[in-house]
């Protein structure tokens, strides 16, 4: 059977766990910021709708945090069990951010608990708002330090290997590697963007289903605006990421773009298919765009994939992950930009059912873009687990029972996923906005 190979089974289980955990991790990073923004606006404008947004979002957030703890713990265990040789080496170098991540999580969880249990305990809501600052900082710090570990895997430094012995270890140099700035910035920006569009999708869905409450209109306006800001930020950081790849991991960039021959003024390829001779068919070619993405110069030379040994060439499927990520990102920028301009110009079609369905679609699509981005990052580093130093096969366990573990964890994630949906539906279905707030007079001015 396929899973009898422990390397393949280990890769599958890691992929499964990371793909499931990234959903909860993204929510865990993005929701605290959205709660902060909503509560701050509510305090500043003395608007009970925004205060209620913060309160309701916080209720749902607790559920996802609980599941995120389970999946995060699973990742920690799997790193040691599935990739022991990697942890034996990397653990001596990059253990510091892993320790800081635990501290950041407890920092976040403690203040989140205090925040949740002190609603209505403060006469001055600004004091209650202050409790959100360490929650958001803890969430952001968790993403920061974990992404540093992934950055180290892509650009390892801060150590030497002499006679197969690890020497001259410097954890600080290892943490602040060349991949760190763009990876951390991209992870944070896309997390905030995705959560904003997720909350926008919920608001739009409620409006479609007939709830014309001003609360949902305000929620939609706020989340679409925040989503647009971070979608544009993610696009800018993505451009910087392309320039990092061109300098430090040119084989990943070449694989993502199916760029086989070194050439000047290289076009960027979107979509298409490869034949048996690795010839690209039916792709959309954007002239000079790959050279611009790589070096900011339309005439720059971009190294082709044929320059690298075949055994070090990343899987060409990463091209589709790149296409998916970029397509969804552009779609969300367009949808949110039109929405924002439409509010200012009074375009009525942005209130139409069909347009709100596009916004609803943007919620799951944004999470799919997050997944595609991580698949590209991880698959694009193949065959290396530690770029240029240790391959995946060298790092993996030799245990023959990983396949069984994969099945058990798959069942666990199905239960956790379904359980999350059921609990969240019960929480909000039994406590609709109309039940928590007296209906207010509706009008166009309630969009602002």
Residue 336 pLDDT class (50, 70, 90 cuts) = very high
Determine the pLDDT at residue 440: 42
Residue 443 pLDDT class (50, 70, 90 cuts) = very low
- Region 369-376: what's the mean pLDDT? 92
Residue with tokens 């510091």: 96
Nearest to 392 by CA among 11, 9, 2: 11
* DSSP letter for each residue of 386-400: ETTTEEHHHHS---T
Residue 320 pLDDT class (50, 70, 90 cuts) = very high
Q: How many CB atoms lie within 10 A of CB 24?
A: 22
Q: Which residues contact 352 (CB under 8 A, 6 or more apart)?
A: none
How far apart (Å, rounded) are the C-alpha atoms in residues 67 and 87? 25
- Region 389-402: what's the mean pLDDT? 85
How far apart (Å, rounded) are the C-alpha atoms in residues 57 and 64? 11
> For 149-180, what is each residue's pLDDT tens digit?
889 988 888 888 887 778 888 888 888 999 99
Phi/psi of residue 382, each to 5°?
Answer: -60, 145
> For 280-293, what is each residue's pLDDT tens digit?
888 888 999 888 98
Q: How far is CA 376 from CA 233, 274, 382, 389, 408, in A?
A: 19, 18, 10, 20, 26
How far apart (Å, rounded) are the C-alpha atoms in residues 257 and 376? 12
* Cα atoms found within 13 Å of the Cα of residue 417, Cβ hemisphere only: 13
* DSSP letter for each residue of 51-86: HHHHHHHHHHHHHHHHHHHHHHHHHHHHHHHH-HHH
Q: How far is CA 64 from CA 32, 212, 220, in A?
A: 12, 28, 21
* Cα atoms found within 13 Å of the Cα of residue 231, Cβ hemisphere only: 30
Nearest to 326 by CA among 282, 357, 281, 372: 372
Determine the pLDDT at residue 433: 64
Hey, what are 261's tokens? 């021959």
Residue with tokens 């209130």: 351
How far apart (Å, rounded) are the C-alpha atoms in residues 310 and 231? 36
pLDDT of residue 100 exceeding 70, the answer is: yes
pLDDT of residue 382 exceeding 80, the answer is: yes
Q: Please give the model's pTM, rounded to 2 decimal places.
A: 0.89
pLDDT of residue 145 exceeding 70, the answer is: yes
> For 57-95, what is each residue's pLDDT tens digit?
888 888 888 888 878 888 878 888 888 888 888 888 888
pLDDT of residue 348 exceeding 50, the answer is: yes
Buried b (16+ CB within 10 A) or exposed e, 369-394: bbbbbbbbbbbbbbebbbbeebbbeb
Buried b (16+ CB within 10 A) or exposed e, 246-273: beebbbbbbbbbbbbeeeebbbbbbebe
How far apart (Å, rounded) are the C-alpha atoms in residues 183 and 178? 9
Residue 351 pLDDT class (50, 70, 90 cuts) = confident
Residue 104 pLDDT class (50, 70, 90 cuts) = confident
Residue 407 pLDDT class (50, 70, 90 cuts) = confident
- Region 332-353: what's the mean pLDDT? 89
Determine the pLDDT at residue 441: 43
pLDDT of residue 37 exceeding 60, the answer is: yes
Contact 109, 37 (CB under 8 A): no
> For 239-259, what is each residue's pLDDT tens digit?
999 899 988 999 998 898 888
């Amino acid at each position: 059977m396929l899973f009898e190979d422990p390397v393949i089974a280990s890769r599958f289980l890691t992929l499964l766990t990371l793909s499931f955990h990234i959903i909860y991790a993204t929510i865990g990073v993005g929701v605290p910021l959205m709660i902060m923004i909503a509560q701050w606006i509510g305090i500043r404008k003395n608007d009970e709708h925004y205060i209620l947004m913060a309160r309701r979002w916080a209720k749902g957030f607790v559920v996802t945090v609980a599941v995120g703890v389970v999946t995060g713990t699973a990742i920690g265990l799997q790193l040691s069990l599935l990739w022991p040789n990697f942890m034996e080496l990397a653990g001596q170098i990059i253990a510091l951010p892993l320790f800081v991540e635990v501290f950041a999580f407890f920092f976040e969880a403690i203040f989140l608990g205090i925040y949740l249990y002190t609603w209505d305990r403060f006469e001055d809501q600004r004091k209650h708002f202050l409790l959100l600052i360490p929650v958001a900082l803890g969430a952001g710090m968790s993403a920061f330090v974990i992404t540093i570990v992934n950055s180290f895997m892509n650009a390892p430094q801060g150590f030497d290997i002499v006679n197969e012995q690890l020497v001259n270890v410097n954890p600080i140099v290892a943490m602040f590697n060349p991949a760190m700035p763009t990876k951390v910035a991209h992870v944070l920006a896309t997390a905030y963007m995705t959560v904003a569009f997720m909350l926008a999708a919920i608001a739009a869905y409620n409006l479609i289903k007939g709830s014309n409450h001003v609360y949902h209109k305000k929620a939609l306006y706020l989340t679409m605006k925040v989503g647009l800001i971070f979608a544009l930020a993610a696009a800018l950081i993505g451009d910087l990421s392309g320039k990092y790849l061109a300098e430090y991991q040119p084989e990943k960039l070449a694989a993502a773009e199916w760029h086989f021959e070194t050439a000047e003024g290289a076009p960027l390829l979107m979509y298409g298919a490869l034949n048996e001779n690795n010839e690209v068919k039916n792709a959309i070619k954007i002239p000079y765009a790959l050279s611009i993405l790589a070096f900011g110069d339309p005439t720059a030379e971009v190294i082709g994939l044929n320059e690298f040994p075949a055994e070090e060439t990343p899987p060409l499927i990463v091209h589709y992950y790149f296409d998916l990520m970029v397509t969804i990102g552009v779609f969300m920028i367009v949808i949110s930009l039109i929405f924002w301009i439409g509010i200012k110009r009074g375009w009525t079609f942005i209130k139409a059912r069909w347009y709100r369905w596009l916004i609803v679609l943007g919620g799951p699509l944004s999470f799919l873009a997050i997944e595609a981005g991580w698949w590209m990052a991880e698959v694009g580093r193949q065959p290396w687990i530690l770029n240029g130093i240790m391959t995946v096969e060298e790092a993996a366990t030799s245990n023959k029972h990983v396949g069984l573990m994969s099945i058990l964890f798959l069942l666990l994630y199905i239960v956790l996923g379904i359980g999350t949906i059921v609990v969240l539906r019960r929480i909000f279905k039994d406590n609709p906005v109309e039940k928590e707030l007296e209906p207010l007079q509706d009008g166009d001015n309630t969009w602002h």
